Structure 1
Amino acid sequence: MSRTLNKLNDKAAKAAQPGKYSDGGGLWLHKRPDGGAQWVLRVHVHGRRREMGLGPYPEVSLKQARQDAEHARALVRQGLDPIKQRERQRREQARNMHLLADIARDAFESRKAELKGDGKAGRWFSPLEIHVLPKLGKVPVADLDQQDIRDTLAPIWHDKADTARKALNRLSICLRHAAALGLDVDLQATDKARALLGKQRHKAQHIPALPWPDVPSFYQSLDGGTITELALRLLILTAARSHPIRHIRFDQIDGDIWTIPAEAMKGRKDATSEFRVPLSQEALNVIEQAKPFARDGFLFPSVRKGVISDMTMSKFMERRGMAERPHGFRSSFRDWVAETQSVPFEVAETALGHVTGGAVERAYRRTDYLEQRQALMERWALHLHAGSEKISYKKFTLL
């Protein structure tokens, strides 16, 4: 390596013809016949010669090339390969440039299998997509801090408290996902942001529910024979959630038992097993009336494809001038049980598909109280026809 440095000057570099020109210290300017030029540094490290490109000329000036060359020679003096060091630095920079939007989508994809319906409803991702990513999506995840998060969620922290809380929790999952990928992130950023945001003023608002004495008149008014009305009737009769009702299939029904698959139950797929629902005679009548509408095995298909949406039933009640919503009928049923029926707590809760007791207790208690729930649902059906002469059932005794 020549010890004479700074042989070239800008004027000579610009005027040079195609060829190789030394600036000293291993720094060369290669000028090509096509008019292009490239800086190349030759160094010897670990017993072999290495050629390191320093960029095109004149985009990389003579002054900048000399600075970069000196930095590389300093690494050689430390026994380091400047080419490998540069590659390592580029990998770290690329790794730390992952944007939050990309990390969030990757985190969502990796968790789809754990989510109900593979997350197709969008409820897991939507708090991020609507309230976080528009502001922070293009921020490298390594640069994300508590102030960024605080400023993003502050506008909804009190007015949309539940959504803001979900967004913060999802963001925490994204940061843990980024850390698992090897990215340098602040895992405490969401906790710090929560401290900056303070306690929420919001109080949880329960879904409006029709008082249980008023449910019979509404149920009996569902006499139009439409898919929406039949779905609402079955929802009320079974006290089930909207999702399994809307996705009910003929192959899930065996006699007077409807078996809801595990993935259709609320929560994670691995959080519960399939659930048996006893069908009252009235529920079987509703299913029979819905058969002509069935398509592709679904009892309540939509007009175009798939099944009716949750909004379909909600809008139906809204057009009736009601503030109550379909999910509220579960509360109506539970209040009716509490105020009029002498049944064990476990039976009443199981009728709603709720899990009761601790893990050890559940491990020893294998029953789902099917016979007792069958009698309970028949009594519920009788209540729904209070004052009506449409049906007549035998008396059932709760065990």
Structure 2
Amino acid sequence: MSKLKAAELPGLPVKKHHDGAGLYFDKKKRGASWIYKYTLNGAAREMGLGKYPEVTLAKARELASKARGIKAEGRDPIAERTAVRRQGVTFEEAAREYWQVHCQHYARPLNWLRGMELNVFPHIGRKGVADLTADDLIKFLKPMWGQEKTRKLRQWINAVVGYVSVDDPRVDRDLMDRVVNRLGPQNIEHENHPAIPWQDAPALWCALQDTSVGLSMKLLMLTGVRVNCIVIAEWEEFDFKEKVWTIPAGRVKHWEYVFRVPLTGAMIDILRTARRKWGGTGYVFPSEASKSGHLSNNAHRLWLRKYEWKDAEGRLATAHGLRTTFRNWSDDVLRIDFMLGEHIIQHMKGRGDRDQRAYLRSDKLERRREVLEKWDTYLRSLAEERYRRDKERRSLDEVAELSTGRTKREVLEWVHAEMSHEE
């Protein structure tokens, strides 16, 4: 087989032309490039050597010869070239690349990046990953070693280091192990999310207005799902005929499948109100003030803080804690099966361990519907009682105006005063 000639390259037909010793001229309709083909450990590989005519025939042969030399020594030419290119990559560059590749399926991918931007990049962002030492990490991790956020930061940093180490043998893969060895156990004290007692849930229901925050928090209370599922819910996810909300796979933390929520009467009423207010396309709870176009994840927490809704210990309640409110009610009042309760609040253990999930594939939709309908009735009980008592003296609109946007104390005082007056 004769070798290629530089003068003949422009007129060659569209296909791969072999120059010998694994070098190919890959001619295509929209351009041409050079490829070096080789086999290493029984696996066929193709190494791009550059585009023609930027890389000439002579240069392509030179690059192929160099790659053959590396292969002759039992090393992988592609891996070595990649390592050379990545040598000197900074931690921030590597972290942002890792985030793009591995974090986009998270329920809230921006939280990962923001955590890095706030806590890690200012300290080691500009330093090459291959140059990092245990002292570099200990310097900024030590003051917060016992905090919950450090548990995540430790995992994230280790993931980025491992990501780069695949291509750069100079990177210390055991870097985080050295840090842990020197700093010792983290002894993190986990704090539960403050949650209002379930006895106060009907009063909270009375206090919520028909605003984006109010309606979405009512839906949050009714469903028991995570906050993120509510704020980025879209209309196409709801099937009103079957009375099911299908949350896409990947949105629920640790959940590998779509998550179906049975829609109760109150849920459907809330969704109909939202549709009348903001339309039936896109996000269910839109927000012009947010760059994302949907309600903020912090909107409910801020509302609860503003109106001073607290847990039994006096701590300001969180929106995430509303799932605990439901869970305690379902256990104290209904005494439902533990696994069923966990399933409703989107805990993966509600579907059992890996072996159980392989055989028990039902999502308990109708069983969950029965529980949520009873929870629906309980949440609305105080409001319906007040509306019934006030029907003769005020219009429902007046009652709603009087009851909404209040603290727990104000709602309860209002309810008790009205009931005493009528008696």
Match of 1:316 in 2: 303
One-letter identity of the residue aligned with 2:183:
L
Would you say the 8 A contact 1:293–1:300 is kept in 2? no
Would you say the 8 A contact 1:127–1:164 is kept in 2? no
One-letter identity of the residue aligned with 2:96:
R
Which among 120, 133, 145 is matched to residue 121 of structure 2? 133
Would you say the 8 A contact 1:227–1:293 is kept in 2? no
Superposed, 1:342-361 pairs within 5 Å as 342-356=335-349, 357-361=352-356
Superposed, 1:364-379 pairs within 5 Å as 364-379=359-374
**TM-score in terms of structure 1 length:** 0.69
> Is 1:200 aligned with 2:200?
no
Match of 1:327 in 2: 320
Would you say the 8 A contact 2:130–2:172 is kept in 1? yes
Match of 1:78 in 2: none
4+ long deviations beyond 4 Å: 89-95
* Partners of 1:165 and 1:291 in 2: CA distance: 41
> Taking structure 1 as reference, are residues 96 and 247 closer, same or farther at Cα in structure 2, changes over 3 Å only?
closer
Superposed, 1:210-249 pairs within 5 Å as 210-222=196-208, 224-249=209-234
Match of 2:89, SS state, is: coil
One-letter identity of the residue aligned with 1:141:
V
> Taking structure 1 as reference, are residues 139 and 343 closer, same or farther at Cα in structure 2, changes over 3 Å only?
same
Match of 1:258 in 2: 245
The count of corresponding residues between Structure 1 and Structure 2 is 295
* Partners of 2:85 and 2:247 in 1: CA distance: 47
* Partners of 1:250 and 1:95 in 2: CA distance: 44
Q: Which runs of 5+ in 2 are unaligned?
A: 1-79, 310-315, 389-423
Would you say the 8 A contact 1:128–1:167 is kept in 2? yes
* Partners of 2:266 and 2:183 in 1: CA distance: 51
- Residue 94 of structure 1, CA deviation: 6.6
* Partners of 1:166 and 1:321 in 2: CA distance: 30
* Partners of 2:130 and 2:183 in 1: CA distance: 21
- Residue 201 of structure 1, CA deviation: 4.2
Would you say the 8 A contact 1:211–1:332 is kept in 2? yes
* Partners of 1:101 and 1:367 in 2: CA distance: 43
> Is 1:108 aligned with 2:99?
yes
Would you say the 8 A contact 1:293–1:301 is kept in 2? no
- Residue 285 of structure 1, CA deviation: 1.1
One-letter identity of the residue aligned with 2:97:
D
Q: Deviations over 1:225-266 (max 9, x none)?
A: 211100111110111111111122222111221111113212
- Residue 128 of structure 1, CA deviation: 2.3
- Residue 92 of structure 1, CA deviation: 7.7
One-letter identity of the residue aligned with 2:137:
I
Would you say the 8 A contact 1:146–1:193 is kept in 2? yes
Q: Which has the higher contact order (CA 8 A, sep 6+)?
A: 2
Match of 2:261, SS state, is: strand
Which among 347, 360, 363 is matched to residue 358 of structure 2? 363
Match of 2:103, SS state, is: helix
Q: Which runs of 5+ in 1 are unaligned?
A: 1-88, 393-399
- Residue 104 of structure 1, CA deviation: 1.6
Superposed, 1:1-399 pairs within 5 Å as 95-116=86-107, 119=109, 122-158=110-146, 161-222=147-208, 224-255=209-240, 256-267=243-254, 271-295=255-279, 296-304=281-289, 306-322=293-309, 323-356=316-349, 357-389=352-384
> Taking structure 1 as reference, are residues 112 and 365 closer, same or farther at Cα in structure 2, changes over 3 Å only?
same
> Taking structure 1 as reference, are residues 281 and 180 closer, same or farther at Cα in structure 2, changes over 3 Å only?
same
* Partners of 1:247 and 1:365 in 2: CA distance: 30
> Taking structure 1 as reference, are residues 180 and 342 closer, same or farther at Cα in structure 2, changes over 3 Å only?
same
One-letter identity of the residue aligned with 1:265:
V
Would you say the 8 A contact 2:89–2:129 is kept in 1? yes
RMSD across aligned positions (CA): 2.3
> Taking structure 1 as reference, are residues 181 and 233 closer, same or farther at Cα in structure 2, changes over 3 Å only?
same
Q: Deviations over 1:322-370 (max 9, x none)?
A: 3101111100000111111132222211111222312121111121111
> Taking structure 1 as reference, are residues 294 and 157 closer, same or farther at Cα in structure 2, changes over 3 Å only?
same
One-letter identity of the residue aligned with 2:252:
M
- Residue 297 of structure 1, CA deviation: 2.6
* Partners of 1:123 and 1:379 in 2: CA distance: 35
One-letter identity of the residue aligned with 1:257:
V
